Structure 1
Amino acid sequence: MELRNRRVLVIGMARSGISAAIFTKKQGAHVTVYDSKNETVLEESIKELKKYEIAIQCGKKNIDNLLDFELMILSPGVPTDLSFIKEAKQVNIPVIGEVELAYQFCKSDIIGITGTNGKTTTTSLVGQIVTSYDSGSQIVGNIGIPFTSQLDKLDQGHFAVAELSSFQLETIKDFRCRVSAVLNISPDHLNRHKTLENYIEAKKNVFRNQSNEDICVLNYNDLECRKMAKESPAKVIFFSYEMELNEGVYFKDNHIMLSTGEMKTEVCRVEDLNILGRHSVENAMAAVAICFYAGIPINHIREQLIQFEAVEHRIEYVSTINGVRYYNDSKATNPDAAIKGLDAMQWPTVLIGGGMDKDSDFTDWVNGFEGKVKQLIVFGETADQIISTAKKIDFSKVIKVHNLEEAVSKAYMYADKGDCVLLSPACASWDMFNSFEERGDLFKKLVLDLKG
């Protein structure tokens, strides 16, 4: 892709948009960045862009001189059905995302990891295994590191280990992974994708451009993932928690096992892992498959698996206060992730949930409360919906509070020695916070403040 002297419009001033704008400017493009938010909200982003003499349009609904641009680059958070994006496509202005832009200039092979839940943990684990073996590889993507920001560090013979969201995948065109992975599928972001089918189609883009020389790692126990095997042009490698595989990675007798079809290897015991729950074992199995088929020696994989610590905000241990364990699972932004977080708890649980409404159904989550959740505390946009769901299945131990501060205070009162308090919201954070990280950080501060 040639960018020199091209007129490029970048949509969105979040991290990916800023990174894409700076990268294209350095490539010699004439760059404009647009965001509908006002200057006050975007003050820090504007300061960063002005360092590079990048043109800025913000605080308005319409884009000046839209038809003058030759390329449009979308930040992941920008819906693709906005009117000006449709207008650009109608006049054949190419519309791509930041990940596709990065691919066009990336010299390294790509490991692409997606799925509804477990992406960040698995990407972090794969990243630790790969980068500790090969210091020239980098971790990028939805994990909080824009792909374009790392291109100057990525050369041939190395890997870009990329966490990929459905938002990033829906705008790719040529993007191709050497190793792709789909960890699981459950309804999420339906307020953006409208239907589950659209969401799944976006996820499939992670392997659409692969060839039979590439690898696609799929979860055998997830029906939607198993169906994808028929559509993947790459060699499919399964991982399975529930059954022994002739080729792939599986769980047996409390061990993670690797089978190549000719040789079976015990990778490690589950007790050796520093992460909790079945979903964590599945993430570890996916990481083993990804790394082994990317060419990493099994001994190195084993060593790094055992050393790996839990990702921040994903069933993250915070502290024990008066005999009560506190866990931060703020990254559980949908019911399926929250189910996995609750399943990992081995003690009576005071559960804190609620947040932004993403058109989720909370029935399966609430159905898992009986015998495990001693008290549910909810706040945010979805509080009343969660309470209504709880009432329908006769779960009555639920109260509504105004904010996270009040939720932590109430949890402290309800929890007894030997219990745990779990923040696992089952909802996005954007009704009250800028991110799930901000929500999790506040929870940790509030918990540590309880110590006095």
Structure 2
Amino acid sequence: MRLQPARTEEEIRAYRASLSGRRVAVIGAGASGRACLRRLAEAGARVVLADAKPRDAMGEAVAEAEALRAAVVERFEQFDQLPDVELIVSSPGIARGHAAPVGGRAAGIEVIGTMELGYRLCPAPIIAVTGTNGKGTTCRLLSAMLAAAGRAHILAGNIGTPLAEELVHATPETPAVVEVSSFQLEGIVDFHARIATVLNVAPDHLDRHADLREYLEAKARIFANQEPGDYAIVNVDDGRVRELAESTRATRLTVADSSEGADAAVIDGEVTTALWGRREVICRADDLPLRGRHHLKNLLVAAVAARLLGVAAEAVARAARAYEPPAHHMQVVGEVSGVQYINDSKASNPAAAVADLAAMERPFVAIVGGKDKGADFAELGALLTERARAVVLIGEAAERIARALGEGARPEHAATLEQAVERAAQLAQSGDAVIMAPACSSFDMFEDYRHRGRAFGAAVRRLAEEATR
């Protein structure tokens, strides 16, 4: 099936022409901001790069901006620090309530996100994936399925490479598989996905969103501009997702754990789809490297999208069987004295941690904690109390997690991740696993979840070295 492109060539040419000569401010000197800066400069805009950091802490962004003849505003906090601008492009890390976009909107200036700018210049049909957990896995699975079928495509968005960066590879014949976060969805206006899905919704980022309702409203925006002829893939096992998808005008396709009435489900241990009036078996669930109901759901969504894009069931199955989880996601980083060490640093909210811990087949010692985002730890506490041999807590959320554990639980506390790994090693028995599933973001102790995952791996390597002395 050939999907319609996101924008026609005429629409893109007209929008590029409208940018020529306009003064446009890009807020945020990260990867997405810099990619937008380049695309705007190519279109002839007079660009300004603004960032909260001082100039000497902005790294390569300053040299890149100067090469594009862009003005640079350092220590940026207020709208009035910007020269006269006609458009503001705001990076995902800038909240809607930040003084700059608020001031811009109050002055009648259009404020859009970096994802929206990428969309407005994108000729490729967009397959957009959001959800609290599983976005990256689903996008990588779909990308692998397209690759297995020999289909050119791009993989972009929150997964690592900004959509604006990948535009150089985008054509009407190359589907764009785009991971979209709630932060990015806050900044969309016309963003239109031909295939869209919300995988699941659990409370998250409540340090950014005012409440759960605001978070849900951000996620629902992925369906807002869909129209008849588009597709919304709906996880009907998640009540919040069902509610979010009620307003879509797209054709609804359903995925479920085991319902024979769904368009994709796991039935009698077989991953199946039923899109054109007949059910076909993709593969056996037992043949897959991914474990857990949540990962099977990600696979079902990716399989439906791939089949809509014309990928043969055989290629879908081949990609699914060969899939390897990325770093920091249930990644086995070593085994020391009969104990397996698993880096699940990407599990940065309670729902993700619960799903991965529930899928554990070995007895385990869990390392949990990090920056407190205001999440509810009740379900996590119950699972750890029931399943974990021991729990070692780290970070600013440690005390709240400790209170969520059941009576009789005696969690250990560690000041650093290295100390947590050392203590977990002492508590574990041969045949066990030590899993770091933080259930929190990393910013209280680390740069990001990758930095946290690397630190865990380094601590395990030190354990291994000491064990061989």
TM-score range, shorter chain: over 0.9
Residue 10 of structure 2 corresponds to which residue in structure 1?
none
Match of 1:76 in 2: 92
Q: CA deviation at 1:398?
A: 0.5
TM-superposition CA deviations, 1:384-419 (whole Å, max 9, x none): 2112222xx214230111111111111111111010
Counterpart in the other structure of 1:400? 413
Write the letter of the residue equivalent to 1:405: E
- Of 414, 418, 425, the match for 1:412: 425
Alignment-derived partner of residue 348 in structure 1: 363
Report the counterpart of residue 265 of structure 1 in structure 2. Answer: 280
How far is 1:41 from its partner?
A: 3.0
> Could you tell me how far apart the structure 1 residues matched to 2:217 and 2:21 are?
35
For the 8 Å contact 1:319–1:325, the answer to whether it is kept is yes
* Shift in Å, 1:65: 5.3
Percent identical pairs in the alignment equals 33
List per-residue Cα deviations over 1:18-72 (Å, max 9, x = no partner).
1111221122111111111223432343233333332211124335553610110
Say whether the 8 Å CA contact 1:37–1:60 is kept in structure 2: yes
Contact 2:126 2:177 in 1 (8 A): yes
Q: Which amino acid aligns with 1:46?
A: V
Instruction: Choose which of 312, 319, 325 in structure 1 pairs with 2:334.
Output: 319
- Per the alignment, in what secondary structure is the counterpart of residue 237 of structure 1? strand
**2:249 matched to 1:236?**
no
Q: Is the 8 A contact 2:77 2:99 kept in 1?
A: no
- The answer as to whether partners of 2:307 and 2:313 remain within 8 angstroms in 1 is yes
Distance 1:47 1:412, change over 3 A: farther
Q: Deviations over 1:266-319 (max 9, x none)?
A: 111111111121111111111111111222222211111111111221111212
Q: Matched residues in 1 for 2:96 and 2:408: separation?
A: 40
Counterpart pick for 1:170 among 166, 186, 207? 186
Contact 1:66 1:88 in 2 (8 A): no
Residue 50, structure 1, aligned to residue 53, structure 2: no
| Structure 2 letter corresponding to 1:136 | A
Count the aligned residue pairs: 449
Task: Provide the rounded CA distance (Å) in 2 between the counterparts of 1:130 and 1:234.
Answer: 23
> TM-score if structure 1 supplies the norm length?
0.96
- Amino acid corresponding to residue 23 of structure 2 in structure 1: R
Residues 226-285 of structure 1: CA distance to partner in whole angstroms, max 9, x if unpaired? 22332111001111013222x510011111111126211111111111112111111111
Per-residue deviation at 1:14? Answer: 1.3
Q: What is aligned with 1:378?
A: 393
Q: Is the Cα contact below 8 Å between 1:57 and 1:63 reproduced in 2? A: no
TM-superposed CA distance for 1:428, in Å, is 0.5
Equivalent residue of 1:369, what SS? Answer: helix
For 1:107-139, what per-residue CA distance to the aligned partner results, in whole angstroms no more than 9, with x for missing partners? 110000000000011111111212443453110
Q: Is 1:8 the counterpart of 2:21 in the alignment?
A: no
Return the match for 1:368 from 383, 406, 428: 383
- Partner SS for 1:290: helix
Measured in 1, the distance between the counterparts of 2:243 and 2:19 equals 39
Q: In 2, Cα distance between the equivalents of 1:122 and 1:395?
A: 38
Matches within 5 A, 1:430-441: 430-441=443-454
Confirm or deny that 1:153 pairs with 2:144: no
What are the ranges of 5 or more consecutive residues in structure 2 without an aligned counterpart?
1-14
Q: In structure 1, which of residues 193, 204, 215 is the aligned counterpart of residue 209 of structure 2? A: 193
The change in CA–CA distance for 1:67 and 1:55 in structure 2 (over 3 A counts) is: closer
SS at 2:412 equivalent = strand
For 1:74 and 1:39, locate their aligned partners in 2 and report how far apart those are by CA, in whole Å.
19
Residue of structure 1 in register with 2:437 after alignment:
424
SS of residue in 2 equivalent to 1:76 = coil
Q: Confirm or deny that 1:105 pairs with 2:124.
A: no
SS at match of 2:384: coil
Q: One-letter code of the match for 2:396?
A: E
The answer to whether the Cα contact below 8 Å between 1:34 and 1:63 also exists between their aligned partners in 2 is no
Cα offset, 1:329, TM superposition:
0.7
Give yes or no for contact 1:193–1:199 (8 Å, CA) kept in 2. yes
Is 1:17 aligned with 2:33?
yes
Question: Is the CA contact 2:126–2:178 (under 8 Å) kept in the aligned structure 1?
Answer: yes
Q: Is the 8 A contact 1:7 1:70 kept in 2?
A: yes
SS in 1 for 2:97: coil
Where do 5+ consecutive residues of structure 1 fail to align? Answer: none
Deviations 1:163-211 (A, max 9, x none): 0000001111111111111100110111111111111111111111111
User: Is this contact kept in 2: 1:139–1:160, CA < 8 A?
Assistant: yes
1:179 and 1:294 in contact (8 A); partners too:
no
Q: Distance in 2 between matches of 1:423 and 1:252?
A: 32
* Whole-Å separation in 2 of the counterparts to 1:49 and 1:432: 31
Separation in 1, partners of 2:264, 2:434: 33
Q: Distance in 1 between matches of 2:123 and 2:369?
A: 42
What's 1:330 paired with? 345
CA distance in 2, matches of 1:209, 1:335: 31
